[in-house]
Homo-oligomer: A and B are copies of this chain.
């Protein structure tokens, strides 16, 4: 085994553990009994501690130092680039902070869902404040004196800067606002739907729509969640939707959107399964596929 092989074998297990963390998140939002929230937060915290300690394992530094990049093929070089980047980022975040964030986010999800059901923002506000406080600590650790927002943005859109995105949105804004006004001001507005659509029928239709859009149910599933999301990659990519008794388009468009994310992950070459190249490259690319589908 070369240092590269050792590093990639270690990385593969870390990726597998990361997939488990994702699955726990999915479970929490779809299947978990409500009373399990506190225990789940401890479970999530324990797993994130393991992940953080693997992502900052000094052996990674040793392997990286030994590998001669120039002897690797294109895929090997791309793997190394991702691993180096992740290692440097992980080293900056203290282990305690990573575990504390994982626990808090796990607890916050249930509090948010309940507050949303009760339409009571004040019930979630104190938790949100804690989330933001820890996120600022993480940003400060990552930024190392630089811009806090840019430091966090890097997790979603590698190498992007807030200023560049601002310029892009500023350029898009006039035409998008005008288009929206044109649509809202049109003479022909669709009539409001005024009867109820059974939840079961909506879910059945959503499954059929997902299938027609190319979503592979042998490597995925569709369930209900408070807020629709897509999770997982490789052989197990799960999507969720929500239903509204009087507005079936809510579930249909949500499903199509998540199918866009899901198809992206399901169609990544299996050769990259559980490697740093086995998931989407950025939020922007991911979201562009989901928006195009939608």
CA distance A19 to B36 in the complex (A): 12
**Copies of this protein in the complex:** 2
Q: Which residues in window 265-279 of A have CB below 8 A to B?
A: 273-274
Is the CB–CB distance between B221 and A39 below 8 Å? no
- Cβ of A256 to closest chain B Cβ, rounded Å: 19
8 further contact pairs, Cβ within 8 A, besides A32-B236, A33-B236: A13-B45, A16-B46, A17-B43, A20-B46, A23-B27, A23-B43, A35-B235, A39-B274
Is the CB–CB distance between A40 and B236 below 8 Å? yes
Give chain A's interface residue range (CB within 8 Å of chain B).
35 or more
A216 at the interface (CB under 8 A from B): yes
A47: chain B residues within 8 A (beta carbon): 16-17, 20
Write out, one digit per residue, whether chain A residues 1-43 have a CB within 8 A of any chain B CB (1) or not (0): 0000000000011101101100110010001111111111011
**A16-B33 contact in complex given A23-B24, A23-B27, C-beta closer than 8 Å:** no
Q: 10 tightest CB-CB pairs across the interface, nearest first?
A: A36-B236, A16-B46, A35-B218, A39-B235, A13-B46, A35-B219, A36-B235, A16-B43, A16-B42, A39-B234
- Cβ of A132 to closest chain B Cβ, rounded Å: 26
A45: chain B residues within 8 A (beta carbon): 13, 16
A114 at the interface (CB under 8 A from B): no
Is the CB–CB distance between A274 and B31 below 8 Å? no
- Cβ of A108 to closest chain B Cβ, rounded Å: 17
**A31-B235 contact in complex given A16-B43, A42-B274, A50-B50, C-beta closer than 8 Å:** no
